[in-house]
Chain A
Amino acid sequence: MKRLLIVLLMALITVVAFADEQTTETTTFEEPILITSGGQSPGALQMMVLAKTGGFDFEFIKDVEPAKENIAAFNTIIVVVGASGKGLGAAGIDVDDEIARLEELVSLAKAEGKSVIIAQIEGATRRGPSSDKISDAIAHEAELLLIKKDADEDGKFTTIANENEIEIIHFEKTSDARGVLKDVFNK
């Protein structure tokens, strides 16, 4: 009886451990990656540096137009959100133009079977009305949210993740995103 109890206990532990592993397992994504900006802040360029120094197969097109031929070569699209008035101005667009581009891009990517990751890697300094407007427009469409911890102090991204059953990974520093990318791309 005692032996049976031990076996049952061990089985239970295994099941619990397995269940835990199941719930915390990170979805994996596939290269090549298309990195683009969601708001024309320097965050996308920093993501490009992270991808480059991390040895990823990627292309960086800051303001890629939503067209099948522009995304055909990629398996995953990373949109780095963060609005910059200067960046939008340099691109000759306003935040609503940018949102329209991103909504179309994300929608097209999903229709074409591509994975979409929304990343915020600049933290709290890149939170504000325009940046939030962009996140509100597209973050719920992502398969994964990669969020710098201090950008989610008010729980905004966690709420989006919970409401839409999207996986969310937080990291402390921008440079930590490189390791997270390696995990989710199994590198």
Chain B
Amino acid sequence: MKRAIVFVFSICLIVGVTFGAVTAQTVASSDGMVAAANAYAAEIGAEILEKGGNALDAAIAVSFALGVVEPYASGLGGEGYAVITMANGEKHAVDFKSMAPGGVTYDLLEELETSISDIRYTPKGALVPGVPAGIQKVYDLGATLPLEELIAPAIELAREGFVVNETFAKVTSDKYEALLNSAPEFLNDMLAWETGDVYKNEALAETMEMIAENGIKCFYEGQIAEDIAQYMEENDGFITKEDLENYVAYVKKPVQGTYRGYDVIVPGPPVSGPQLIAILNMLENYNLGLMGWDDPLAIHIIQQTLVLEDVDRRYFISDPDYYDLPVEGFMSKEYARRRIMKIDLNQAIDPDTYWDHGGNPTPFEEGKSFEDVLIEEGAKEAAAELVNVKESPSTTHFSILDKEGNAVAWTQTNSSFFGTTSFVNGFFMNNEIGNFASTYRDWDVINLEPGMRPRTTICPTIIEKDGEVRFIIGTPGGGRIVSTITNLIVDLIDFEMPVDKAIAKPKFVGYVWYDKIRMEKGLPEKTLEALEALGHELRLYEYPDLYFGGPNLISVGQDGMMIGAGSIRRNGAASAPEM
């Protein structure tokens, strides 16, 4: 009798099964689980687990595969962050954020009579990619299978091709004009790819073969580096061979917080881990569990919290190698108590004044209590003008858990879909430069400097209870990422929703640039009317909408049963090995 109890809640997404892996939108198993934005990629991860690989092996295979099947969202030319918790208790955060090339400064941009916003969708908008170096770091942390074996399924997928899904077709169509200009070889005989077409990428297969034969080093120092540098030189980009040689991914200690007895493990700055901890610290002061998921008061509290901590993020999160910011204070529970004083349960904050509600976590950095600070001072107000960066719903996240209990939450991205649309050796170069301030500003914390890593909202998250993994969460979605992850955590923990229901629930956003609550349709009319009575303006989106992200989650019951769920907003899937 098989040890695995694998059953499928939905068969809507079952794809070709090469091994015994079971792939669907929602899957349960006790033998390991992969949840990713694409069924092919999820299944490749499950097959690696089936072959005896651990979660790190599977994560590497999935990362390569996602670069094939979602070349618009992530790949070798992109960046990201992964959070890893090992069964032996070790915890790691792998920072493979992209890095500004050495020669790029505001002075240079001025000299070239251009700006960050002007170059964002040109080869100049690409930062030094981090995905390959991140893969190497993860591999070194404890992968067990040879790298060639982990990359082989992605090579086969690129060479043999795969069936284009609705998401692939839609995002290609949306970027058609830019692709026709910059990357016509990516298109289908100069036309957009359509659902049901078979897409092959021989150039990417050859690039990955080079990596399989020569190791990841060849991306930064070998032939691939030469090719990238040559492309940049021919197309007026900034990245040089030296920039590629200088790139390093880091293994860091993850940031940790708690929420209602759960341990929340997230990446530190310059991504949104500290912001998520700050949000959860505030929400912990409300008994959300007594309210319903569609209770207008719960939505009001969560949305206002999201807005307040988005203001704070813009002041207190950046590359820690370049800015010394009060991140510990920002994440303290004492500071959260100070921050909830900003929320009026009777009235929504006027969106025109969002910027006036920045907090001051510095005293809490020094360990002061809420009462001490309250007695001593009010919150120091911050400057008003901040960079307006448009963030696209690109990016991709996957979650993996093996039967030993090793867990990986991994988010990787090209920034915008197709990044700069610069297509080199079968992959797209990111356009992360748009996440720096558009012009230099004294008060800002994201001013471009050579070597700096941009601040972004990604937040791969692992949640434990009593030392056991309970949830692995993450999503793409640009400015919606932190809101969607918060929605999910509250739904899973406070409202005790099963993981597929949490994914399906209509999402809403709290974000400084949005003067209305952006939300998917599906909430009761009375809830919407009550929110308007609280002073909120609403902007409703059709349900489901990719704009709100594409979370791919795993939950683990106390009995060890893992439930994986792929995003309903992006053709996601979960896949489990059959042992």
Per the 8 Å Cβ criterion, residues 148-171 of A in contact with B are: none
Contacting residue for A46 out of B174, B176, B195, CB 8 A: B176
> What are 14 sample pairs from A and B whose C-beta atoms fall under 8 A apart?
A42-B173, A42-B177, A45-B176, A46-B192, A50-B191, A53-B190, A84-B174, A86-B174, A122-B173, A125-B166, A125-B195, A173-B194, A174-B191, A175-B191
Per the 8 Å Cβ criterion, residues 25-43 of A in contact with B are: 41-42
Select from chain A the residue with minimum beta-carbon distance to B187. Answer: A49
Chain A interface main SS type = helix
Select from chain B the residue with minimum beta-carbon distance to A84. Answer: B174
Interface centre among B166, B170, B177 (most CB of A within 10 A): B177
Per the 8 Å Cβ criterion, residues 79-129 of A in contact with B are: 84, 86, 122-123, 125-126
Instruction: Flag whether B169 is at the interface (Cβ < 8 A).
Output: yes
**Beta-carbon contact of A175 and B189 below 8 Å:** yes
Chain B residues with CB below 8 A from A123, complex form:
194-195
**Beta-carbon contact of B170 and A125 below 8 Å:** yes
Chain B residues with CB below 8 A from A173, complex form:
194
**Beta-carbon contact of B166 and A49 below 8 Å:** no
Number of residues in A with C-beta < 8 Å to the partner? 16
- Assuming the A-B contacts A86-B174, A174-B194, are A45 and B180 also in contact, with contact meaning beta carbons closer than 8 angstroms in the complex? yes
Q: Tell me the bound Cα distance from A123 to B191 in angstroms.
A: 13
Chain A residues with CB below 8 A from B195, complex form:
123, 125
The 6 closest A-B pairs by CB, nearest first: A42-B176, A49-B190, A125-B170, A174-B191, A45-B177, A46-B191
Given contact pairs A46-B176, A46-B191, a sample of 19 additional A-B residue pairs in the complex whose CB atoms are under 8 Å apart: A42-B174, A42-B176, A42-B192, A49-B180, A50-B191, A53-B189, A53-B190, A84-B174, A86-B174, A123-B194, A125-B166, A125-B170, A125-B173, A126-B173, A173-B194, A174-B192, A174-B194, A175-B189, A175-B191
Q: Tell me the bound Cα distance from A79 to B323 in angstroms.
A: 53
Select from chain B the residue with minimum beta-carbon distance to A41. Answer: B173
Q: Which A residues lie at the B interface, using CB under 8 A?
A: 41-42, 45-46, 49-50, 53, 84, 86, 122-123, 125-126, 173-175
Chain B residues with CB below 8 A from A174, complex form:
191-192, 194
Select from chain B the residue with minimum beta-carbon distance to A121. Answer: B191
Chain A residues with CB below 8 A from B170, complex form:
125
Q: Tell me the bound Cα distance from A173 to B194 in angstroms.
A: 8
Chain A residues with CB below 8 A from B192, complex form:
42, 46, 122, 174
Q: Tell me the bound Cα distance from A186 to B170 in angstroms.
A: 32
Chain A residues with CB below 8 A from B180, complex form:
45, 49
Q: Tell me the bound Cα distance from A90 to B259 in angstroms.
A: 43
Q: Tell me the bound Cα distance from A175 to B180 in angstroms.
A: 15
Per the 8 Å Cβ criterion, residues 141-200 of B in contact with A are: 166, 169-170, 173-174, 176-177, 180, 188-192, 194-195
Chain A min CB distance to B89 (Å): 47
Q: Tell me the bound Cα distance from A123 to B174 in angstroms.
A: 13
Interface centre among A45, A49, A84, A173 (most CB of B within 10 A): A49
Chain A residues with CB below 8 A from B194, complex form:
123, 173-174
Q: Tell me the bound Cα distance from A185 to B318 in angstroms.
A: 59
Select from chain B the residue with minimum beta-carbon distance to A128. Answer: B542
Interface readout for B100-128 with A: 1 if CB under 8 Å, 0 if not? Answer: 00000000000000000000000000000
Per the 8 Å Cβ criterion, residues 73-95 of B in contact with A are: none
Select from chain B the residue with minimum beta-carbon distance to A129. Answer: B542
Q: Tell me the bound Cα distance from A46 to B188 in angstroms.
A: 11
Q: Tell me the bound Cα distance from A50 to B176 in angstroms.
A: 14
Chain A residues with CB below 8 A from B189, complex form:
53, 175
Q: Tell me the bound Cα distance from A9 to B177 in angstroms.
A: 57
Q: Tell me the bound Cα distance from A175 to B174 in angstroms.
A: 17
Select from chain A the residue with minimum beta-carbon distance to B176. Answer: A42
Chain B residues with CB below 8 A from A46, complex form:
176, 191-192
Chain B residues with CB below 8 A from A122, complex form:
173, 192
Q: Tell me the bound Cα distance from A174 to B172 in angstroms.
A: 14
Chain B residues with CB below 8 A from A175, complex form:
188-189, 191
Q: Tell me the bound Cα distance from A41 to B176 in angstroms.
A: 9
Chain A residues with CB below 8 A from B188, complex form:
175
Chain B min CB distance to A53 (Å): 7
Q: Tell me the bound Cα distance from A41 to B194 in angstroms.
A: 15
Q: Tell me the bound Cα distance from A122 to B193 in angstroms.
A: 10
Chain A min CB distance to B118 (Å): 15
Chain B min CB distance to A39 (Å): 13
Contacting residue for A49 out of B169, B173, B174, B191, CB 8 A: B191
Select from chain A the residue with minimum beta-carbon distance to B172. Answer: A42
Q: Tell me the bound Cα distance from A126 to B188 in angstroms.
A: 18
Q: Tell me the bound Cα distance from A42 to B178 in angstroms.
A: 10
Chain B min CB distance to A121 (Å): 9
Chain A residues with CB below 8 A from B191, complex form:
46, 49-50, 174-175
**Beta-carbon contact of B169 and A125 below 8 Å:** yes
Q: Tell me the bound Cα distance from A163 to B174 in angstroms.
A: 32
Chain B min CB distance to A170 (Å): 15
Chain A residues with CB below 8 A from B169, complex form:
125
Interface centre among B176, B177, B191, B195 (most CB of A within 10 A): B191
Select from chain A the residue with minimum beta-carbon distance to B167. Answer: A125
Per the 8 Å Cβ criterion, residues 471-489 of B in contact with A are: none
Chain A min CB distance to B152 (Å): 32
Chain A min CB distance to B369 (Å): 49
Per the 8 Å Cβ criterion, residues 192-237 of B in contact with A are: 192, 194-195
Chain A min CB distance to B265 (Å): 37
Select from chain B the residue with minimum beta-carbon distance to A126. Answer: B173
Chain B residues with CB below 8 A from A41, complex form:
173
Interface readout for B433-461 with A: 1 if CB under 8 Å, 0 if not? Answer: 00000000000000000000000000000
Q: Tell me the bound Cα distance from A49 to B180 in angstroms.
A: 9
Q: Tell me the bound Cα distance from A78 to B191 in angstroms.
A: 18
Select from chain A the residue with minimum beta-carbon distance to B179. Answer: A42
Q: Tell me the bound Cα distance from A173 to B189 in angstroms.
A: 13
Chain B residues with CB below 8 A from A53, complex form:
189-190
Chain A residues with CB below 8 A from B174, complex form:
42, 84, 86
Q: Tell me the bound Cα distance from A69 to B190 in angstroms.
A: 31
Q: Tell me the bound Cα distance from A87 to B129 in angstroms.
A: 30
Chain A residues with CB below 8 A from B190, complex form:
49, 53
Q: Tell me the bound Cα distance from A53 to B173 in angstroms.
A: 19
Chain A min CB distance to B164 (Å): 12
Chain A min CB distance to B216 (Å): 36
Chain A min CB distance to B113 (Å): 22
Select from chain B the residue with minimum beta-carbon distance to A42. Answer: B176
